[in-house]
Amino acid sequence: MQSEIERVKVLIIGSGPAGYTAAIYASRAGLSPVLYTGGQPGGQLTITNDVENYPGYPNSITGPEMMEDFRKQAERFGTQVRYGLATSVDFTTKPHTVIIDEQVTIHADTVLISTGASAKWLGIESETRLNGKGVSACAVCDGFFFRGQEVAIVGAGDTACEEASYLANICSKVYMLIRKDEMRASQIMQKRVMNNPKIEILWNTETDEILGEEEVNGVRIFNNKTGEKSEIAISGFFVAIGHQPNTGIFKDFIHMDEAGYIKTIPGSTKTNVEGVFACGDAQDNIYRQAVTAAGTGCMAALDAERYLAEFEND
């Protein structure tokens, strides 16, 4: 039962680098943004141990600490950061309507979608237990920590091939675990990994268990044709089986690609709905980095500011 109705100029849905950066810019512009954190406050960075590739942190920083810094900076300029999950929306009228936790109704002149995308996982216990302790879903983010070491990566698409190639540049060996006897990747990407002497492809191979107590020290695999099990000594385990954008509640109103990523007008964060903007991994299926997400968060806030200026002058 809905118990509250509120009108705001700028509503930000999501609290990763994109959402918090949008909040910093919008609040400094005097737009009094309200940000709802979503189900995972801070986004995917909250399950990342050390972040070494974000400018301004020369000695690295943990993901949770970084997101806490972002939040404090947004609040310093007047952003209202609230815990809550957007459960439904209606973008057919102005102002736009967003329901939070099926209880609070927000009427927003502009909505900035920064709900991100969640990595798909294998679903085994050790994967969860060792996440951030050698298990990762982002080779570009975490591969550096395993330079000169042996690692494994699961996946058979273009992203998996790209990440395997990236890891091969800095690791001594990369085992590529593929559960079928063929890849989904494009031919050029397949040739790239097959011709790389540091990448060993294991076909018809699935993960039985990631080994290690406090950190990854190996993986137990099995051949799904023969049932034969074996163990490989590794220190890093990467999962590259895709991401799922957290955009389901917007599908009836916002144009998306076949995977659910929000389409934005090139060179902007504008969606097909006036006054609704998208930033971060919810609309980026290519780069998926904290720094690029923050950049599009800035863009979304500036786009919203310009939209509101035109709206108020009409």
Tokens 């919203």 correspond to 304
CA dist list (Å): 44 to 157, 277, 301: 22, 21, 21
Look up residue 11 and give its two tokens: 């509503």
Q: Which of 10, 15, 13 is nearest to 32 (CA)?
A: 10
Residues 6+ apart with CB under 8 A from 187: none
Distance between CA atoms of residues 76 and 299, nearest Å: 20
Distance between CA atoms of residues 261 and 280, nearest Å: 10
Catalytic residue numbers, as ranges: 138, 141-142
* DSSP E strand boundaries for 122-168: 135-136, 150-154
Nearest-10 Cα torsion for 120, 122, 126, 127: -30
